Amino acid sequence: MPIYEFRCECCGHRFSRFFRTMRGSEEDAPQPCPACQSDNIRRLVSSFAVGGGSASDTETTRESSDTTRRAASITPKEQIDRWRSGSKR
């Protein structure tokens, strides 16, 4: 189920359109620009995620590493060393 990205040549508006099949993207008449209703649109080459990652996954990873970094900056080194060694002094 492909999603194609388009740009209006008249107003520059970018938009996406979902197709049920790849064949449908070739057979269906192009829809006009949702911003200005022009039929002068061009299909763009879009970027894609490899490996199933998404922008939200990246943001979550970044947030958790920021949280870990902040915790490390306020936790005494001795406490961190005890956690790593497994002891509970």
pTM higher than 0.85, yes or no? no
CATH topology of domain 3-44: Rubrerythrin, domain 2 (2.20.28)
Task: Report the alpha-carbon distance of residue 47 to residue 54 in Å, rounded.
Answer: 12
Taking the C-alpha atoms of residue 60 and residue 64, their distance in angstroms, rounded to an integer, is 6
Residue 21 token pair? 């099949």
Specify which of 21-30, 56-65, 76-85 reaches the highest per-range mean pLDDT. Answer: 76-85
Q: Tokens for 3, please give them.
A: 């999603």
pLDDT of 27-59, one tens digit each?
A: 677 789 999 999 999 988 776 666 655 555 566
Q: Helix or strand or coil: residue 42?
A: strand
Q: Strand, coil or helix: what is 1? A: coil
Mean of per-residue pLDDT scores for the chain: 75
Tokens of 78: 């001795």
